[in-house]
């Protein structure tokens, strides 16, 4: 983890938020490379789970919703974690994290250091308007699903849908986590990519397992995560969330052990039923053939995008022997981020061999043309070896080197991040070559 955190800071992926003021616990800013990578993962999720699926619809709800939403959803009552406090140093921990409790107790060399366990709400509160008044209290959303439930009827009608169909959303959520940590793995604000898939009651089990397959395929084939770093864990019924009749966690082998990456829950008709009861609005589905009215059952795949990005970074992180040429090698070991090319934050780096004016001019012309089609970087500082190394560390699949010969033969050298193979390509054919390679 230390290596990843250091790489992320050094290369502008992710760094501590508001650091000029000493930071804020577990708040993270995403720099240029981090933003591009995050956006690529997010766009891929949308493409695979919304754009390429005729049975899916997209939605975008607000962070602030009527507080009754969270009463009906059961979050006000049940979205809690058990909390204990250390009597010695007053640090707070989740009572269900036995390993952390044991480690902390060891630090104080005592056994009886914990207060009684109390339930602690994960919902973050805020106040709307100029006065801090309980009547104006609202919650920052703790999950996205509730927009899909409150808007179930209007989405059904405006899009003239029949069961089964789903509604998907990507957005930010907030949670008052008792303990945060492991870099961006657990924070108090993060993005979820979530969908609610509505089916006729009785069909939910088959649909649940077909979503499990779709998730597995996305993680391996689309994101390129290694199979040996993934496994599925089915929750015992005592550990299920208040709305779930069955949950599978897709776990990733993080440096601290297997941990949840993506949740798949069978949410029954719990939410629609409760929203109908509290709002007084009919949220049932009317079968167009039989005329039968019922609350659909819901299957919900839900993943934190920052957590997914951490898995992608960890999985792609590799160390190789120095490969930039002896005179340019900075260390004996070099880092290469072997990301799927489609995910790489920068697709092409344009590197003139030297800063000589005529080379820079040629390289700039190439760069200005390529940025219309690819996310590119132009870099003419430092030795070519150091520049390759920098691009390897952010996972850039192709480096285009413009050398003195380029001025004569109108061709450039394209270096492949993974094979290290160098191809000499005519400048006129460069775009087509890169498009084919990056397709
Ligand atoms: N609507 C269902 C739901 O929100 P969840 O398991 O509480 O389910 C979904 O959260 C996903 O969000 C998790 O599988 C995980 O990837 C991510 N996640 C949960 N808590 C997180 C946190 N504090 N920081 C970052 N990601 C988190």
Q: Within a domain: residue 332?
A: no
Q: Within a domain: residue 249?
A: yes
Tell how far the Cα of 71 is from the centroid of ligand 1, in angstroms. Answer: 20
Ligand 1 pocket residue status of 270, Cβ below 6 Å: no
Share of the chain above pLDDT 70, in %: 97
Mutate to test the pocket of ligand 1, among 263, 265, 309 (most ligand atoms within 8 A of CB): 263
Last residue of a domain, one of 257, 292, 313: 313
Q: Are residues 427 and 294 in the same domain?
A: no
Q: Are 429 and 414 in contact (CB under 8 A)?
A: no
Bridge partners for 25 per DSSP:
none
Q: Are residues 133 and 102 in the same domain?
A: no
Q: Within a domain: residue 61?
A: yes
Q: Are residues 251 and 287 in the same domain?
A: yes
Q: Within a domain: residue 360?
A: yes
Tell how far the Cα of 429 is from the centroid of ligand 1, in angstroms. Answer: 45
Q: Are residues 115 and 126 in the same domain?
A: no
Q: Are residues 112 and 128 in the same domain?
A: no
- Ligand 1 atom 26, closest CA: 304
Within 13 A of 437's CA, how many CA atoms are on the CB side? 22
What is the spatial distance between Cα 299 and Cα 205, in angstroms, rounded to a whole number? 9
9-44, pLDDT tens digit by residue?
A: 999 999 999 999 999 988 999 999 999 999 999 999
Q: Are residues 248 and 288 in the same domain?
A: yes
- Average pLDDT, integer, range 56-76: 97
Q: Are residues 391 and 301 in the same domain?
A: no
- For residue 96, what are its two tokens? 């269900």
Could you give phi then psi for residue 220, rounded to 5 degrees?
Answer: -90, -55
**How many other CB atoms sit within 10 Å of the CB of residue 226?**
12
Q: Are residues 102 and 220 in the same domain?
A: no
Q: How many helices (H) and strands (E) does the chain have?
A: 14, 23
Ligand 1 pocket residue status of 196, Cβ below 6 Å: no
In sequence order, the 6+-apart residues with CB closer than 8 A to the CB of 104 are 86, 91, 93, 113
Q: Are residues 156 and 235 in the same domain?
A: yes
Ligand 1 pocket residue status of 271, Cβ below 6 Å: no
Ligand 1 pocket residue status of 141, Cβ below 6 Å: no
Could you give phi then psi for residue 254, rounded to 5 degrees?
Answer: -75, 165
Domain interval for residue 306 = 2-79+122-313
At 271, is the pLDDT very low, low, confident or very high (cuts 50, 70, 90)?
A: very high
Ligand 1 pocket residue status of 143, Cβ below 6 Å: yes
What local confidence, expressed as pLDDT, does residue 324 receive? 58
- Ligand 1 atom 14, closest CA: 262
Q: Are residues 116 and 129 in the same domain?
A: no
Q: Within a domain: residue 321?
A: no
User: Whose structure tokens read 């770093």?
Assistant: 229
Task: Please measure the distance between the N-terminal and C-terminal CA atoms of the chain and give it in whole angstroms.
Answer: 32
- 98 burial (CB, 10 Å; 0-12 / 13-18 / 19+) is exposed
Exposure string of 209-225, with b = 16+ CB inside 10 Å and e = fewer, is eebbeebbebbeebbbb
Model confidence, pTM:
0.93
Q: Within a domain: residue 336?
A: no
Query: Which CATH number does the domain housing residue 383 bear?
Result: 3.40.50.800
Q: Are residues 141 and 273 in the same domain?
A: yes
Query: Which CATH number does the domain housing residue 274 bear?
Result: 3.30.930.10
Q: Are residues 65 and 154 in the same domain?
A: yes
Q: How many domains, in total, are found in the chain?
A: 3
Q: Are 419 and 399 in contact (CB under 8 A)?
A: no
Nearest to 87 by CA among 67, 68, 70, 104: 104
Last residue of a domain, one of 121, 140, 174: 121
Q: Within a domain: residue 26?
A: yes
Q: Within a domain: residue 431?
A: yes
Last residue of a domain, one of 268, 293, 313: 313
212-246, pLDDT tens digit by residue?
A: 999 999 999 999 999 999 999 999 988 888 888 99
Q: Are 187 and 180 in contact (CB under 8 A)?
A: yes
Ligand 1 pocket residue status of 302, Cβ below 6 Å: yes
């Amino acid at each position: 983890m230390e290596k990843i955190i250091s790489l992320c800071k050094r290369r502008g992926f992710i760094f501590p938020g508001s650091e000029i003021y000493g930071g804020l616990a577990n708040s993270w800013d995403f720099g240029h490379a981090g933003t591009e990578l995050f956006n690529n993962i997010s766009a891929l999720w949308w493409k695979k789970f919304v754009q390429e699926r005729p049975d899916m619809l997209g939605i975008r709800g607000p962070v602030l919703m009527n507080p009754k939403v969270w009463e009906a959803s059961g979050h006000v009552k049940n979205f809690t974690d058990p909390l204990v406090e250390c009597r010695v140093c007053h640090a707070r921990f989740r009572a269900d994290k036995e390993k952390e409790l044991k480690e902390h107790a060891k630090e104080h060399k005592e056994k009886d250091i914990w207060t009684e366990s109390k339930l602690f709400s994960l919902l973050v509160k805020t106040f709307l308007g100029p006065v801090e008044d309980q009547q104006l209290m609202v919650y920052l959303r703790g999950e996205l699903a509730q927009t899909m439930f409150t808007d179930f009827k209007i989405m059904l009608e405006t899009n003239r849908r029949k069961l089964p169909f789903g509604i998907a959303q990507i957005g930010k959520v907030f949670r008052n986590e008792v303990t945060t940590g492991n870099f961006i793995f657990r924070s108090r604000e993060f993005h979820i990519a979530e969908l609610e898939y509505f089916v006729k009651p009785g069909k939910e089990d088959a649909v649940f397992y077909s979503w499990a397959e779709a998730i597995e395929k996305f993680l391996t084939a689309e994101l390129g995560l290694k199979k040996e770093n993934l496994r599925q864990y089915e929750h015992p019924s005592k550990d299920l969330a208040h709305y779930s009749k069955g949950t599978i966690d897709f776990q990733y082998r993080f440096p601290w052990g297997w941990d949840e990456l993506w949740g798949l829950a069978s949410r029954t008709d719990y939410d629609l039923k409760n929203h109908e009861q509290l709002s007084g609005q009919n949220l049932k589905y009317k079968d167009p053939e039989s005329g039968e009215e019922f609350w659909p059952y819901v299957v919900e795949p839900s993943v934190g995008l920052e957590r997914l990005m951490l898995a992608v970074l960890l999985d792609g992180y590799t160390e190789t022997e120095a490969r930039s040429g002896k005179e340019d090698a900075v260390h004996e070991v070099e880092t290469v981020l072997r990301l799927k090319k489609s995910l790489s934050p920068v697709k092409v780096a344009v590197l003139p061999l030297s800063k000589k004016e005529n080379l820079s001019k040629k390289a700039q012309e190439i760069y200005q043309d390529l940025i219309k089609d690819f996310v590119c970087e132009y870099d003419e500082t430092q030795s070519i070896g150091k520049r390759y190394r920098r691009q390897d560390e952010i996972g850039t699949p192709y480096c285009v080197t413009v050398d003195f010969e380029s001025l004569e033969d109108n061709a450039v050298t394209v270096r492949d991040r993974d094979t290290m193979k160098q191809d000499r390509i005519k400048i006129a054919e460069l775009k087509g070559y890169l498009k084919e390679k990056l397709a």
